[in-house]
Each structure stands twice: as C-alpha cells, then as structure tokens.
Amino acid sequence: MGRIYNFSAGPAMLPVEVLTEAAEEMLDYKGSGMSVMEMSHRSKTYAGIIQEAEKDLRELMNIPDNYKVLFLQGGASQQFAAVPMNLMKNKVADYIITGQWAKKAYQEASIYGKANAIASSADKTFTYIPDCSDLPISDDADYVYICENNTIYGTKYKTLPNTKGKTLVADISSCFLSEPVDVTKYGILYGGVQKNVGPAGVVIAIIREDLITEDTLPGTPTMLKYKTQADNGSLYNTPPAYGIYICGKVFKWIKNMGGLEAMKEKNEIKAKLLYDFLDQSKLFKGTVVKEDRSLMNVPFVTGNEELDAKFVKEAKAAGLDSLKGHRTVGGMRASIYNAMPYDGVKTLVDFMRKFEAENL
Ligand SMILES: *Cc1c(COP(=O)(O)O)cnc(C)c1O
C-alpha cells in the first residue's frame, strides 16, 4: 500500500520527508537511546528540540523580539476562552463572524464579558468576508477578533480589518505558515497545528509581550494564563513534547523549501489549478465569492446531493480521500494544505474532469 492523497481539513497530511525522518528517529533519537516520546521534557536534549523549534518558527514568520511564542495544549478551542480571560480588562470585545469557528469563539467570550458581533457573513452562509474597512469598533473594546481563514466555508481575509487602533486577535489555525504574515499587525495570532503544521495536540500562540500580564479575569486557571506559560518557556507542566518535535521538523521542511514566500507560491499554483477548473466546469461549482477564496480549503458542489455523494465515494475508491464537505455545509471540500503535493491536486482535477464527462 502506498500513500493516498488525503484532502482532510484536519488532522491533515504531513510532509513525507518529515514522517520518514521521524520514523528513522523513532527508536533512538540522535544517539540518546530513546524516542522523543520517552524523553523527559526537562532533559537537555529536549530543551534543544523545543528551543530550535521556536528559533526556526521565529525565523520563518519573522517574529519580532517583543512577541512570545508559546506551545500550548487544549486545541484552538481552548483559546476561545483563554483570549478573553487574558485580554478582557474592560470586559468588552468585538468579534467578526465569518463562520462556525469565529462564532464559537464569540459565544465563548460572551461567558466572560460583553462580546459584540460587529460584522457577519451569516446572511449568505459565510460565503464571503464582510467589508471591514469601517466597522463600528467599540470605544472600550479590549480587542477585535477574527478567524483569518475559515476552514469550513473556504474564505480568507485578503486585507485585515481596520481595528481603529484596537488590538487584533486572529485564529490562524488553517492558514498557519501557508504564506508570509506581518506579525506586527496582530496582538495575538494562534492556531491548532493539526491543519497545516503538525500532529493534533499542540497549539501555537504568538503574543505581543505587553498583552501578557498578571491582570487576568478572576478565576482564570493558572494553566490558561499566558504569563504562566511565558514565564516558564512553555514548560510549566509537561508540554505536548512529541508534537512540538514534529512541528520543529515541519518548520525545517518549510525553511529548506525557501520559507513562506516559496510556500505561498506553491500554494497559489495548487489552488489556481483547482479554482480554474471549477470556474469553467459545467458540473462543479465553487461556493465562495472569488475575491475571498482560501488557498487552503476549497468547498465545491454539483448542486445535486446524490451526485455529490457519488463523487465522494468514487473519489475515495480512486485514492482521493476525505473530500466530503463539512456536515453543516454538504457538498465537497478539498483541503490543500502545505503538505498536499501539486500532483495530488492535479490528480483530483483530472478525476473531476472524468467524473464530469461521465455524469453530465
Ligand atoms: C480546526 C479549527 C479549530 C478547532 O481546533 P481544535 O484544535 O479542534 O480546537 C478552530 N479554528 C479553526 C480556524 C479551525 O480550523
């Protein structure tokens, strides 16, 4: 059995080079006589692994010195609570609702203070990004929150919102390391790594230092205080050690490829192949307005549920896995993250062309 093309939204494909290297080091990591899975997180060897991972990430994303990089647990979903707990000094925050993940974050923040939904694309099933050039930002908002790439609906912000001077917080789970990013525009960027960076179980948060304070909401658990994690170099307790090690390998893989500029170029070529096909197809149709299309998640439909189901089934039999759309959207979704090779997308498009000829 060879490897198949896995279009899952997450956990998703990892680079073969990374998996191969991890396999080679499985029983004996660099002469330590043990696997990284078995290693103390307080050991010198592990310190080397986590420090190098951070260094490589800082290089890749050009992270300024006044930002901390934290390796956390609890999934992106736990940050929905950690963000308000750490940042809501005035107990007010503005949320832009562009899909289910933004909505969940908004609902979670509402537990801790006044969360305002200042814009939404719910009126058209989240198929676009609202105009964010002049939003009614609250005077006393502690931050403005976005989900930068909407994994389920396949939209992405092409310009960041005008926050009128307020701190921007972004969930970048599904666009992490897919293209260059100007970290200085954000107060916090965070993401679960299982979409584009590594195995499930690690969340990376990049946080401007002035936002890391003792002044958190009453009742904030020690573990959820950014200060606890920052003061301890992400080693307050046992971190997701093996996951961080794999993330480190993915950082090296991207560096070897030429960094985020090169990654973006590859991702654009892959996405264009699929979108160009969708734009001329008589059977398949992309669901998102062109200007806001994601490079990572590409939802599409035939307009006929039975035909959608037939497509997903036949694609799977042809080695094109996990193309079923999110349960709330239906249709299909191809997630084409960094590790999806060009040939994977090419094979998908060829298969779609054949399916179209047979079923139109
Ligand atoms: C997958 C995803 C989440 C949820 O991540 P968990 O790690 O499962 O909590 C949140 N936000 C976005 C944008 C996602 O794609």
The answer, yes or no, to whether any atom of ligand 1 lies below 6 A from the CB of 77, is yes
**Overall average pLDDT of the 88-100 stretch:** 98
Q: Do 260 and 254 contact (CB within 8 A), yes or no?
A: yes
Which residue among 157, 173, 195 has the greatest number of ligand 1 atoms within 8 angstroms of its CB, and so is best to mutate?
173
The answer, yes or no, to whether any atom of ligand 1 lies below 6 A from the CB of 192, is yes
Q: How many CA atoms lie within 13 A of 178 on its CB side?
A: 26
Look up residue 240 and give its two tokens: 């997701």
Q: List the one residue out of 46, 2, 54, 20 whose CA is nearest residue 247.
A: 54
Q: List the one residue out of 57, 87, 67 whose CA is nearest residue 184.
A: 67
**Overall average pLDDT of the 128-139 stretch:** 98
Q: Do 114 and 106 contact (CB within 8 A), yes or no?
A: no
CA distance 325 to 61: 31
What local confidence, expressed as pLDDT, does residue 23 receive? 98
DSSP string for residues in 281-312: -SS-EE-S-GGGB-SSEEEEE-S-HHHHHHHH
**Overall average pLDDT of the 8-14 stretch:** 97
Radius of gyration of the chain (CA): 21
Q: List the one residue out of 98, 165, 106, 104 whose CA is nearest residue 130.
A: 98
Interval 15-24: pLDDT, tens:
999 999 999 9
Where does the pLDDT of residue 62 fall: very low under 50, low under 70, confident under 90, or very high at 90 and above? very high
Give the distance (Å) from ligand 1 centre to CA of residue 202. Answer: 11
DSSP 162: -
CA distance 243 to 138: 39
3-state secondary structure of 111: helix
| E strands present in the chain | 5-6, 67-72, 92-97, 114-120, 144-147, 149-150, 155-156, 168-171, 188-192, 203-208, 285-286, 297-301, 320-321, 332-335
Burial of 28 (0-12, 13-18, 19+ CB in 10 A): exposed
Number of alpha helices (DSSP H) and beta strands (DSSP E) in the chain: 9, 14
Q: Which domains, ranges and CATH numbers included, belong to the chain?
A: 16-256 (3.40.640.10), 258-359 (3.90.1150.10)
Give the distance (Å) from ligand 1 centre to CA of residue 192. Answer: 6
Catalytic residue check, 171: yes
Helix (H) or strand (E) holding 257: helix 241-257
Atom nearest to 78 CA in ligand 1: 9
Interval 269-312: pLDDT, tens:
999 999 999 999 999 999 999 999 999 999 999 999 999 999 99
Interval 81-90: pLDDT, tens:
999 999 999 9
Q: Which residue has the higher pLDDT, 336 or 1?
A: 336
Give the distance (Å) from ligand 1 centre to CA of residue 123. Answer: 22
Where does the pLDDT of residue 1 fall: very low under 50, low under 70, confident under 90, or very high at 90 and above? low
Catalytic residue check, 139: no
**Overall average pLDDT of the 107-127 stretch:** 98
Percent of the chain surpassing pLDDT 70: 100
Where does the pLDDT of residue 65 fall: very low under 50, low under 70, confident under 90, or very high at 90 and above? very high
What local confidence, expressed as pLDDT, does residue 143 receive? 98
What local confidence, expressed as pLDDT, does residue 195 receive? 97
* pTM summary value: 0.98
The answer, yes or no, to whether any atom of ligand 1 lies below 6 A from the CB of 76, is yes
Give the distance (Å) from ligand 1 centre to CA of residue 212. Answer: 23
DSSP string for residues in 52-101: HHHHHHHHHHT--TTEEEEEE-SHHHHHHHHHHHHH-SSSEEEEEE-SHH
Q: List the one residue out of 174, 218, 212 whose CA is nearest residue 196.
A: 174
| Alpha carbon 152 to chain centroid, angstroms | 11
